[in-house]
């Protein structure tokens, strides 16, 4: 009914003119003294014919509407998908659509090109900045002083942020950077643990990991990135106590700590981009990017990641590595 009412509203000028003409004829017949019964009969016939034309016009309009709706469902469809124009006005609208479509296509090409240039720039910057970082690490290892230990720790954090920047740009490239196959999970975990061993020793945090024999279908580099980010947060927010890594028989990898925990109101949003929560606002150094990248990378790999926490009792992050939807080739 809403569509029919809209159609009548679009034809209101024609309907008004038809009624006005009928009224004019009725007045003229009345003034000439013609019997009004001679008017009602042809008027009734005209109204019936008008109703038929209105109904046919509505059916044609409805059919046209469905054709255009199907075309709109194609998203960025080409002009060939549009039905042929029936009048000059439709031709003008199709020309406007074609011009806008071409402009949008050019803007998208320019945007994609600029994005690729930016990603290439960040990739080059990351590789270039790693050279002076490596040199500074070698220089700081010459003397084992407390000051050099603190500087090495801060330099390690700088390297973390550099790697995070590179991962941030690569995650936007789609699946071209993935190498999905079967890996030894224990080897991936131990590499991440060795990388953060210095941080655990520096903060005197005990790490508990008993090893695993599980093999998982994943991408080694991106799974390593997720585990490293979880270990980084565990070290960052644990002043004393332990960090535990466990793998159960259902291939669920858990990183648990005895740190400050996460507030209940923050827990549902910790994987959002840029969200730092109460701990981040207190620390004033959190970027809100690390866990967002973990969730994005896990989604890209087909793994599910979840978190449980209580303030003052630590946090538990679990990666379900059995949830990858494909099989190894």
The distance of Cα 317 from the centroid of its chain, to the nearest Å, equals: 22
Please, what is the angle between helix 220-236 and helix 290-301, to 10°?
150
211-223 confidence digits (pLDDT tens): 999 999 999 999 9
**pLDDT score at 46:** 75
Please, what is the angle between helix 146-170 and helix 220-236, to 10°?
140
Instruction: Work out the burial of residue 228: count CB atoms within 10 Å of its CB; fewer than 13 is exposed, 13-18 middle, 19 or more buried.
Output: buried
Question: Is 39 within 8 Å of 25 (Cβ atoms)?
Answer: yes
How many angstroms separate the CA atoms of 164 and 290, rounded? 8
- Determine how many CB atoms are found less than 10 A away from the CB of residue 130: 14
Largest CA distance in the chain: 122
Among candidates 103, 109, 163, 155, which has minimal Cα distance to 134? 155
**pLDDT score at 74:** 58
Two structure tokens written together for 18: 């038809």
Q: Which CATH architecture has domain 178-329?
A: 2-Layer Sandwich (3.30)
What are the residue boundaries of the structural domains of the chain, listed by start?
A: 2-83, 84-175, 178-329
Two structure tokens written together for 241: 């106590």
Question: Is 324 within 8 Å of 317 (Cβ atoms)?
Answer: no
How many angstroms separate the CA atoms of 285 and 161, rounded? 12
Q: Is 178 helix (H, G, I), strand (E, B) or coil?
A: coil
Residue stretches of the chain with pLDDT short of 70: 1-3, 36, 38-39, 72-81, 172-177, 277-287, 323-329
**pLDDT score at 329:** 46
With left for phi above 0 and alpha for psi between -120 and 50, is residue 288 left, alpha or beta? left
Residue 247 half-sphere exposure toward CB, CA atoms < 13 A? 19
Contacts of residue 166, Cβ cutoff 8 Å, sequence gap at least 6: 122, 123, 126
Residue for token digits 């606002």? 281
Two structure tokens written together for 137: 């690490």
How many angstroms separate the CA atoms of 75 and 258, rounded? 50
- Determine how many CB atoms are found less than 10 A away from the CB of residue 221: 14
Two structure tokens written together for 87: 């009048």
61-89 confidence digits (pLDDT tens): 788 777 777 776 655 555 666 777 777 87
How many angstroms separate the CA atoms of 146 and 155, rounded? 14
With left for phi above 0 and alpha for psi between -120 and 50, is residue 219 left, alpha or beta? beta
**pLDDT score at 328:** 45
Calculate the dihedral angle through the C-alpha atoms of 244, 232, 321, 296, rounding to the nearest 10 degrees.
150
Residue for token digits 């320019």? 110
């Amino acid at each position: 009914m809403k569509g029919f009412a809209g159609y009548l509203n679009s034809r209101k000028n024609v309907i008004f003119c038809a009624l006005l003409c009928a009224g004019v004829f009725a007045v003229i017949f009345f003034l000439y003294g013609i019997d009004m019964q001679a008017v009602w009969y042809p008027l009734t016939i005209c109204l019936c014919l008008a109703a038929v034309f209105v109904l046919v016009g509505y059916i044609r309009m409805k059919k046209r509407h469905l054709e255009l709706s199907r075309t709109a469902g194609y998203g960025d469809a080409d002009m060939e998908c549009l039905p042929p124009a029936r009048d000059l006005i439709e031709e003008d609208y199709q020309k406007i659509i074609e011009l806008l479509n071409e402009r949008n296509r050019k803007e998208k090409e320019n945007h994609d090109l600029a994005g690729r240039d930016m990603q290439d720039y960040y990739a080059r910057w990351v590789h270039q900045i790693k050279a002076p970082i490596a040199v500074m690490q070698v220089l700081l290892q010459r003397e084992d002083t407390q000051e050099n230990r603190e500087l090495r720790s801060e330099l390690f954090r700088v390297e973390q942020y550099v790697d995070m920047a590179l991962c941030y740009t690569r995650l936007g490239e789609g699946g071209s950077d993935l190498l999905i196959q079967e890996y030894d999970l224990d080897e991936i975990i131990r590499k991440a643990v060795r990388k953060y061993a210095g941080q655990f020793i520096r903060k005197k945090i005990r790490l508990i990991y008993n090893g695993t024999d599980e093999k998982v279908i994943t991408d080694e580099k991106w799974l390593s990135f997720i585990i490293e980010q979880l270990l980084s947060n565990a070290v960052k927010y644990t002043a004393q106590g332990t960090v535990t890594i466990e793998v159960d028989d259902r291939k669920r990898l858990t990183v648990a700590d005895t740190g400050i925990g996460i507030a209940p109101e923050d827990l549902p949003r910790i994987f959002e981009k840029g969200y730092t929560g109460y701990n981040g606002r207190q620390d004033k150094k959190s970027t809100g990017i690390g866990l967002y990248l973990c969730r994005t990378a896990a989604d890209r790999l087909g793994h599910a990641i979840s978190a449980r926490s209580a303030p003052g009792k630590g946090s538990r992050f679990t990666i379900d590595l059995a949830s990858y939807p494909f099989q190894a080739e």
